[in-house]
């Protein structure tokens, strides 16, 4: 019982420290020390899996409070159901930390290998079963620009590796008196930050753009009430009319900006088409089309540009939000939450919105979290990344900051400015160095005008991806095996 108490306390301390370093709390420096209580406890008790799982469960339970909001407040389920879903989700995600704890006990004398294994588990977490790419270690650094500039070479997992290694090396100093690892960890972190400062003033050749983001900030709870439809349409249309088109190269509105299907017969579609005669307008909307007696639904991004309307259909759909996985197996649950509603259909291929001054990569909400998907669009020639999203589902939690953090990392990985239009916030203008030049907070209605410079070039990460991580893991594993012989 005493051992379990110590395990729980150490896991709780680490979870609280890492939470304070996470997006929304923004005490980034705590990330470099947060895991030490848990790691030292693992080394002494030998109960790595249990300690890691308890830590992961507590950490995700604290930071996924927005799941309760989405399920119970906006999903109209009882509060008990929202709490249960959140607990089960946190238990599942905590398993990755449990696996790391199990590996830690067996490889605790190989700090560099352990850091690589922790990052490998982040990769799996971010991709398995559609993936959950939020709350990675790299995201703790999103508001400290020098620490994330290395992502143009390594991607965000390179930043995670440095944070993870610093923690493991410090813990190894406490339980193993390993001075070499802590010296190397300090040098590695300092080198990364120096690199960050050295590239912070870099200029990017491209076209200067003036962009307006419109954040209507109407209530998610009232969005789909039929009686509110025309009031919301009027609000969006007034904000659009009050935008002076001759001052901007592009105007962006958020995901599903109107509470209706964005088909050609819809008045909002016509309004955007008329305004698009004056300046290109990007807006999100859901649509459907009928073919061979079958109706398919898409969550889409539209670009209205004079007489041309370009459409991009969201490719990476959100499980349980836009489609229901294992629908036959879980049919009763599907009916309880969604009344057996039709799933959205994913888009078939990547595409760009191309103008003379820019080539915009359209993304819808969750998609901006996936580097591999964006790499496809960047390879096609994108020089600016545009994200339309509806983070209102997060409610008044840290969820919008967790999503924003991923977009900051995308800007640095590809050295492309990111323009994100959110229904109720956080709308933001993110420069190519990951710095947020301006933003509109959650719940604030208004305009966000920003200037960005396009960038056509490809970063090392855009070309090479995460091949370096496989090489790193093999090399550190091989060295570890040699030392044991």
SS3 427: strand
Contact 361, 384 (CB under 8 A): yes
User: What are the structural domain ranges in the chain?
Assistant: 2-200+466-484, 208-455
- Report pLDDT for 339: 54
Q: Answer yes or no: is pLDDT of 322 > 80.
A: no
pLDDT digits (tens, 9 = 90+) for 259-292: 999 999 899 999 999 999 999 999 999 999 888 7
User: Average pLDDT of 151-163?
Assistant: 97
**In which band, very low, low, confident or very high, does the pLDDT at 340 lie, cut at 50, 70 and 90?**
low
- Report pLDDT for 345: 83
User: Rounded CA gap, 310 and 353, in Å?
Assistant: 7
Minimum mean pLDDT range among 1-15, 252-266, 383-397: 1-15
- Report pLDDT for 336: 53
**Which DSSP helix (H) or strand (E) runs through 423?**
none
pLDDT digits (tens, 9 = 90+) for 364-381: 998 999 999 999 999 999
User: Average pLDDT of 412-436?
Assistant: 95
Nearest C-alpha neighbor of 211 from the set 390, 385, 409:
385
pLDDT digits (tens, 9 = 90+) for 197-247: 999 878 888 899 999 999 999 988 888 888 899 999 999 999 999 998 889
Count CA atoms within 13 Å of residue 111 on its CB side.
27
User: Rounded CA gap, 122 and 136, in Å?
Assistant: 7
> Mind giving me the DSSP string for 222-269?
HHT-GGGHHHHHHHHHHHHHTS-GGG-SEEE--TT-SSSB--TTSHHH
User: Average pLDDT of 162-175?
Assistant: 94
User: Position of tokens 């509109």?
Assistant: 440
Nearest C-alpha neighbor of 4 from the set 35, 38, 37, 45:
45
User: Rounded CA gap, 159 and 142, in Å?
Assistant: 10
- Report pLDDT for 362: 97
E runs forming strands in 235-358: 250-252, 281-291, 294-305, 308-313, 353-354
- Candidates 3.60.110.10, 3.90.1150.10, 2.160.10.10, 3.30.360.10; correct CATH number of 208-455? 3.60.110.10
Nearest C-alpha neighbor of 428 from the set 218, 205, 225, 142:
142
- Report pLDDT for 129: 83
Tell me the two tokens of residue 141: 């650094």
User: Rounded CA gap, 457 and 380, in Å?
Assistant: 12
User: Average pLDDT of 159-174?
Assistant: 96
pTM of the model: 0.93
Express the helix, strand and coil content of the chain in percent, nearest 5 each: 55, 15, 30
Q: What are phi and psi of 425, to 5 degrees?
A: 105, 155
User: Average pLDDT of 79-83?
Assistant: 90
Tell me the two tokens of residue 374: 């964006």
C-alpha 92: how far from chain center:
19
**How big is the chain, counted in residues?**
485
**In which band, very low, low, confident or very high, does the pLDDT at 326 lie, cut at 50, 70 and 90?**
low
């Amino acid at each position: 019982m005493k051992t379990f108490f110590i395990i729980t306390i150490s896991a709780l301390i680490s979870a609280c420290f890492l939470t304070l370093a996470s997006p929304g709390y923004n005490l980034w420096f705590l990330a470099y020390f947060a895991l030490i209580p848990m790691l030292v406890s693992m080394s002494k008790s030998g109960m790595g899996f249990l300690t890691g799982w308890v830590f992961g469960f507590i950490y995700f339970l604290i930071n996924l409070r927005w799941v309760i909001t989405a399920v119970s407040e906006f999903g109209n389920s009882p509060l008990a159901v929202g709490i249960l879903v959140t607990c089960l989700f946190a238990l599942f995600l905590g398993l990755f930390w449990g696996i790391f704890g199990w590996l830690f006990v067996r490889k605790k004398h190989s700090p560099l290998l352990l850091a690589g294994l922790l990052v490998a588990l982040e990769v799996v977490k971010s991709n398995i079963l559609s993936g959950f790419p939020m709350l990675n270690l790299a995201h703790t650094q999103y508001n400290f620009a020098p620490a994330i500039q290395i992502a143009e070479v390594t991607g965000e997992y390179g930043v995670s590796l440095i944070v993870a290694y610093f923690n493991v090396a410090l813990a190894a100093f406490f339980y193993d008196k390993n001075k070499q690892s802590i010296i190397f960890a300090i040098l590695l972190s300092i080198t990364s930050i120096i690199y960050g400062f050295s590239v912070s003033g870099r200029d990017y050749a491209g076209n200067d753009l003036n962009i307006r983001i419109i954040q209507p900030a109407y209530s998610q709870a009232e969005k789909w009430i039929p009686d509110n439809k025309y009031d919301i349409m009027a609000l969006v249309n007034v904000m659009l009319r009050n935008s002076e088109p001759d001052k901007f190269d592009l105007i962006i509105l958020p995901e599903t900006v109107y509470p209706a299907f964005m088909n050609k017969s819809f008045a909002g579609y016509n309004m955007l088409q008329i305004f698009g005669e004056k300046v290109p307008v990007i807006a999100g909307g859901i649509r459907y089309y009928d073919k061979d007696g079958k109706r398919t639904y898409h969550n889409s991004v539209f670009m209205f540009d004079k007489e041309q309307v370009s459409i991009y259909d969201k490719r990476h759909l959100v499980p349980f939000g836009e489609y229901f996985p294992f629908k036959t197996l879980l049919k009763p649950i599907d009916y309880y939450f969604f009344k057996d509603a039709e799933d959205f259909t994913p888009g078939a291929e990547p595409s760009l919105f191309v103008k003379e001054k820019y080539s915009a990569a359209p993304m819808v909400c969750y998609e901006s979290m996936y580097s591999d998907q964006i790499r496809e669009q960047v390879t096609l020639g994108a020089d600016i990344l545009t994200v339309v999203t509806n983070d209102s589902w997060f409610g008044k939690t840290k969820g919008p900051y967790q999503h924003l953090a991923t977009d900051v990392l995308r800007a640095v990985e590809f050295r492309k400015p990111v323009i994100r239009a959110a229904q109720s916030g956080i709308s933001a203008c993110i420069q190519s160095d990951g710095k947020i030049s301006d933003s509109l907070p959650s719940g604030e209605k208004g305009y966000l005008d920003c200037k960005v410079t396009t960038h056509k070039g490809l970063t090392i990460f855009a070309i090479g991806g995460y091949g370096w991580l496989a090489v790193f893991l093999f090399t550190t594993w091989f060295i570890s095996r040699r030392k044991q012989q």
